Amino acid sequence: MKRLTIYILTILCLTSCDWLQKQKSGDVIAQVGDKVLYESDLINLVPIGSSPEDSLRIVNQYIQQWATNQILYQRAVRNSGQKDEIEAMVENYRRLLYVHEYEQNLLQRRLPDSISETQISQFYQSHKDLFLLKESLIKGMYIIVNKNSRDVNKLVGWMRNPTKENMEKIEAIAFQKSLGYNIFFDQWQSFSEIKSHIPFSQQGTDREWLTANDFLRLEDSELIYILRITDKLFVGEQMPYEFAHSEIIKAIQNSQQVNTLKRIEQEIYQDGVEKGDIYLRNTLSLEQQLESLNNNLPQQVELTDSIPGTATKPTKQQQVQQPIQQTPKQATQQNEQQPKQINTPTQQPVQQKPVQSKTIEQKTEQTKTEQPTTIVPVAQEPAQQTTQPTEENNNNSKATFDSNIFN
């Protein structure tokens, strides 16, 4: 019976392998819309050593899942109400991926392999305001010993007075009998990291506790914790150089990467212009554009707001300049000498502030619709004449505005 079973499994396995081999000829396995699943997609799908039943199950599950994914995607696209937005996001993300890969390859060839200690020190001295502490730091040592240890009192005394001789004794006990210790007199450590090894309840903030304490002895049911603090720094103070060393390296690398990318972009842009890959209608610089715009602007003149046929309210300056009063006799003689006229509202010129300058295109359009204006003469000074922009100036100004599209 056992031999028969092995014989049947062998036949099924050979049949399965023969089926897969036939499918490699290029036949279509499944199709959903314009998407086709070929037999080549099933190669190496079934793990080596799988039984015929497992092989068929794996293949069938793959085909069914492939068909489900395809039909689900096609119907989602057909019924989407934001197809344009999704396509735009996909295209933008695709472009970003290509650009990122290209920039990373260029950066690997441009950036230096290492950063010298001199660069790190100079960066730290020039940017101290960037390196401020976000947590409290301490220097000192702590040791954890068994509660039944006979050396506890000695340790307390030595740690309160850490002379060179006492430190040798502390190190000997710490190495031989302690359950944990850390001696960091010459290295700043995070206070929160030290507290994770000493389970004590802190009253107040780190600044308040560290200001009031330099020594701590704490014990529980089994252990005794002894902490000695020799130096401390608080949040907001200057970060020590050795503690900021790794952050300085990251800051330098980031700065180098940003500056290198800017140079690469400028080089690529200039190369594209020189090779004709980039076309610009006008390549004037910003300074040249502003100079061209200022040269084409007409000079400002003093204008009146009056419209022919309407009365204008006199200004305060005109109200002050009242005509000389005449006697009744003089007025009668003057009226007899002058022909009688119908009294109509007279139009007084009004001196106003200079009109704000407008763009060349706005002034050209305005001259087509505005009524004629009156130039107010200024005493003892020649009146300024308005200059109309010539056709050449208009062309220059239009070229100037067209170039702004590429800025």
Q: Say if residues 226 and 219 touch (Cβ distance below 8 Å).
A: no
Position 91 scores a pLDDT of 95
Q: Domain-by-domain residue ranges, the chain?
A: 2-78, 133-237, 280-306+354-364+386-407
What pLDDT score was predicted for residue 405? 34
pLDDT of residue 191: 93
Contact 46, 58 (CB under 8 A): yes
* H-helix segments, 177-280: 191-195, 206-212, 241-274
**DSSP label at 298?**
P
Cα four-point dihedral sign 312, 315, 321, 324: positive
Structure tokens at 171: 């190190």
Question: Could you say which residues of the chain have pLDDT below 70?
Answer: 1-26, 282-287, 289, 293, 296-407
| Predicted TM-score of the model (pTM) | 0.49
Q: Measured between alpha carbons, how far is residue 276 from residues 99, 233, 243, 269, 404 in Å? A: 21, 60, 51, 11, 20
Please state the separation of Cα 361 from the chain's center in Å. Answer: 36
Measure the CA–CA gap between 354 and 365, rounded to whole angstroms: 19
Distance CA 314, CA 13 (A): 111
The answer for residues whose C-beta is within 8 angstroms of residue 149's C-beta and 6 or more apart is 177, 224
For residue 251, what are the CA distances in angstroms to 113, 147, 161, 235?
A: 15, 47, 40, 21
Angle between helices 391-403 and 360-369 (to 10 degrees): 130
pLDDT at 299: 54
Burial classification of residue 142, based on how many CB atoms lie within 10 Å of its CB (0-12 exposed, 13-18 middle, 19 or more buried): buried
Burial class (CB in 10 A: 0-12, 13-18, 19+), 108: exposed
**Quick one: pLDDT at residue 391?**
45
Q: Give strand ranges (E) for 69-152.
A: 137-146
Q: How far is CA 259 from CA 13, 124, 265, in A?
A: 62, 19, 10
Place of tokens 């497992």: 54
- Kindly report the backbone phi and psi dihedral angles of residue 332, in degrees, each rounded to the nearest multiple of 5, phi listed first: -70, -45
**Element spanning 200, H or E:** none
pLDDT of residue 42: 87
Q: What is the pLDDT of residue 383?
A: 45
